[in-house]
Amino acid sequence: MTTSVSKGCFVFKPERKKRKRTVDVEDYFADGDDCSNGRQRFSICQSLWEKIKTDTEKLQDELSKKILDSLLEFIKKSTSSFQRKSDEWACLMRASEIPTAALVLGVNVPDHDMTFQSLSDLLRESVTPFAVSVQAKECSALKNLVKKILERLMGVTVDEGEEDLALQGGPLPQKRVSCSIGALCQWYKTVTKKHAMTSPGKNCSTVMDVLQNPPIVVIFKDFEAFSPHVLQDFILICSRYIQELPLIFVFGIATSPSTIQHLLPHSVSSLLCIELFQSLSCTQHLATVIDKLILTAEFPFKLSGKVLQVLVNIFLYHDFSVRNFVKGLQLALLEHFHTQPLSVLCCKKKEALLSAQALKHQHVEMVRQLPSFMRYVETQEPQEQVQLLTSDKHVKEVCQKLLKDLRKYHKNYYSILRCLHSLTSALPKYPLGKQIRELHISSLEKNVWETNEYESAIQLLRLLAKDELVATLRKCADMLKPCETKKMSSASQQLEDYIVRLEQLDCMHMEDLSKEVMSPGKDLQKKTDLYHLQKTLLEMKGSRRTKQMTPFEMLRNEALDFIDCLVRSHLTPPELLPLYEVCYYSSSGFLRRHLNATPRTSIQTALHQPSYYLQNERLKTDAGTVSSSAPDICIVYKLHLECGRLINLYDWLEAYATVVSGAEGKDPDSEDYGQVDELKHSVRAGVPGVCEINKAENRPCGKTDLGRLLIEIYCDGGGWFVLFGQGDCLF
């Protein structure tokens, strides 16, 4: 029995873990209390993105098929010579040359991963299971390069502190392999010999069954980024094993093939048997993507002219990456379905009509508030206007009709757009643009037939010869044939009639007609006096002024007038159509802010207005003043802006010390006033007054090392002070 002064019973309840409420992605699309509309919009958005992704990958495979097939043929040819031990491989062995493919992919570096992934998959399927890719960032030294190749080929791991490789699950489970090409050679012989002994007479189902000695393909993804010394040493070592090891290199080059000569000396490059492969240009790739994804009526989601121009400008002036262009398209798609509740109607025809019939009252009110629908209501009769403003059922029926008209408009629009581009793309100086996207952007923003470029293009078309006109009209007719609408079928048939009439023109009749026009010249051969000669010349001059048009010219003008009528009828901007907001995304500013960031402007704004970024109202100051309570870097930056092209370092630091001392409440008459700390004071005392900084060039004019000086002055507790100059460079 235990005796104590007090007794008590204490209960400790276990702490309950707060359950984190998981939010589904589709919940972010919810519009108020209506979650069904949000989930439906998310489902449509997801299906459209899957279609974009699938079509883009398929298109990428089609475009890169030619160059990948050429690469495979080169590798197979090199492999077959090694298998047969032919004279060609014998020559390579005697010269210690390694078969090398220089693959020039262009400066669109973000797209290279897709190409190399496709190449690796094709190699493993049809040529060799021993294909490995390496990057410069993981191969800073020769040891790292060999280590990565061995790990990915042999399935091994290497401890950072050991020189050997511990094999895990590989063909030699009980041995340790050194990090060297010799170990790779020994492993390759063991694997190929073991497979040849264990699978004699079996059906050829794998690459190893077909080829007894498949090659080892090493792909250098970013060849320019590799250290020259690492590449040189690696190639020299591999050349010594080429008689026993069927090595093949693939160099991924972004700039020019001459970079091989820049990185490798002749003594090393001579060890490579190089063959050049050129990929399709990224601009052609972009044109194909736009043609398949944007300039089609099958894809319901559309971009406005300004949005498409932003994406194209980012492509042309930043990275040339088609992959990033598609990501920008994905962002526009996601933002459209997230911010536009009526985007539930942006889907296939049958689904859109069903969704329009199932619209709720709040969504019908949103339809009435659309600017395009309001303009449509204003053009109707008074009785119809009352129905549109009061009856939800009638609005739903009208929406179904307008959605059908919108789809017909897109089918006719893209057909006439391609027709006009085929006519004008070969004209001198390309008045309507060389690429169809340029004509498309112009047509989205305004009436293209009202521009001066269109007038000049039509004038040039009226000068075409018969053969050129027939060829261009035939292209236009072929482009209008696939269109399913009645108007385009009728237009295609009419163009065919013009072509037949042009081909049936009698050229001899045209020559006779021209001779008849010039027949008054025969009167000059007769004897006449001065009066009759003057009269005859005046008649000839008048006949030239009033020269009659030939049948070809009349028919040519008639055909071009017909095409001009088609353009004016079907290339109207989509903003004039009701319910265009359902399908078109027009927030170009949002895309520009998220895709085309300006870090320098943001940094300078943060330094100039710290109150906005720190959300502190006390840091607000009037224009031209410096707050003593602002961060040090902001004080120095504002003092830096007060100087001209040259800044005196001593005066700059004196001004900074004065502002900071005032914030600390020091007496101006005291000895410590103006001295921030002992380190800064000692360094400040040693700075000559003549040390000035050229702000335009971001470098000191005197002998003092500015970088070392600023580090010594503003190094406080391990935190570095960063100075941003007004030039292109940042300190």
Rounded to whole angstroms, what are the CA distances from 428 to 85, 345, 416, 438, 443? 57, 43, 21, 16, 20
- pLDDT-derived band at 688 (thresholds 50, 70, 90) equals very low
Strands 156-157 and 164-167: antiparallel
Strands 584-585 and 302-303: parallel
* Residue where the block lists tokens 């800073």: 140
pLDDT of residue 176: 56
Task: Pick the closest to residue 724 from 698, 688, 705, 704 (CA basis).
Answer: 698
Examine the pLDDT at 410 and tell me if it is beyond 70: yes
Between CA 177 and CA 53 the distance in angstroms is 43
CB under 8 A, 24+ apart: contacts of 20-24: none
pLDDT of residue 553: 87
Contacts of 51 (CB under 8 A, 6+ apart): 299
Alpha-carbon torsion 431, 436, 441, 446, what sign? positive
Tokens of 18: 């707060």
- Higher-confidence position of 167 and 253: 253
Examine the pLDDT at 492 and tell me if it is beyond 50: yes
Rounded to whole angstroms, what are the CA distances from 492 to 141, 479, 558, 562, 568? 65, 8, 15, 11, 17
- Higher-confidence position of 434 and 24: 434
Backbone angles phi, psi at 373, to 5 degrees: -70, -35
Tokens of 121: 């998959």
DSSP 229-287: HHHHHHHHHHHTTTTTS-EEEEEEESS-TTHHHHHS-HHHHTTEEEEEEEPPPHHHHHH
Task: Pick the closest to residue 460 from 433, 419, 428 (CA basis).
Answer: 428
Lowest-pLDDT range of 353-357, 416-420, 502-506, 653-657: 502-506
Between CA 561 and CA 567 the distance in angstroms is 10
Q: Cα dihedral angle (102, 106, 112, 115), rounded to 10 degrees?
A: -60
pLDDT of residue 214: 85
pLDDT of residue 702: 36
Mean pLDDT of 341-360: 92
Alpha-carbon torsion 319, 323, 329, 331, what sign? negative
Strands 272-278 and 98-104: parallel
Mean pLDDT of 281-308: 92
* Residue where the block lists tokens 């060890």: 271
Strands 98-104 and 247-253: parallel
Mean pLDDT of 207-221: 76
- pLDDT-derived band at 204 (thresholds 50, 70, 90) equals very low
pLDDT in tens, 233-248: 999 999 888 888 888 9
Helix (H, G, I), strand (E, B) or coil at 324: helix
Examine the pLDDT at 168 and tell me if it is beyond 50: no
pLDDT of residue 713: 40
pLDDT in tens, 552-566: 889 999 999 999 999
pLDDT of residue 197: 61
pLDDT in tens, 309-328: 999 999 998 888 999 999 99
**Looking at the whole model, is its pTM more than 0.85?**
no
Instruction: Evaluate whether 554 touches 513 at the Cβ level (below 8 Å).
Output: no
Tokens of 369: 């508030």
Examine the pLDDT at 166 and tell me if it is beyond 50: no
pLDDT of residue 714: 40
Domains and CATH numbers, the chain: 54-196+211-280 (3.40.50.300), 285-518+547-585 (no CATH), 599-714 (no CATH)
pLDDT of residue 309: 94
pLDDT of residue 643: 78
Helix (H) or strand (E) segment spanning residue 445: helix 436-445
Highest mean pLDDT among 177-181, 567-571, 707-711: 567-571
The DSSP 8-state label assigned to residue 31 in this structure reads: B
| Burial of 419 per CB tally in 10 Å (0-12, 13-18, 19+) | buried
Mean pLDDT of 80-108: 71
Instruction: Evaluate whether 102 touches 254 at the Cβ level (below 8 Å).
Output: no
Examine the pLDDT at 423 and tell me if it is beyond 50: yes
Examine the pLDDT at 95 and tell me if it is beyond 70: no
pLDDT of residue 173: 42
Instruction: Evaluate whether 219 touches 149 at the Cβ level (below 8 Å).
Output: no
The amino acid at residue 297 is A
Examine the pLDDT at 281 and tell me if it is beyond 70: yes
Tell me what percent of the residues of the chain surpass a pLDDT of 90: 37
Between CA 119 and CA 579 the distance in angstroms is 45
The tally of CA atoms less than 13 A away on the side-chain side of residue 469 is: 25
**How confident is the prediction for the chain on average, in pLDDT?**
78
The DSSP 8-state label assigned to residue 716 in this structure reads: B
- pLDDT-derived band at 107 (thresholds 50, 70, 90) equals confident
pLDDT of residue 549: 78
Examine the pLDDT at 346 and tell me if it is beyond 80: yes
pLDDT of residue 711: 38
pLDDT of residue 669: 55
- pLDDT-derived band at 156 (thresholds 50, 70, 90) equals low
Lowest-pLDDT range of 206-210, 246-250, 268-272: 206-210
Between CA 195 and CA 214 the distance in angstroms is 12
Mean pLDDT of 145-161: 74
Beta strand residue intervals within 254-377, DSSP E: 272-278, 302-303
The DSSP 8-state label assigned to residue 526 in this structure reads: S
Examine the pLDDT at 134 and tell me if it is beyond 90: yes
Examine the pLDDT at 646 and tell me if it is beyond 70: yes
pLDDT in tens, 376-404: 999 999 999 999 999 999 999 999 999 99
The amino acid at residue 478 is D
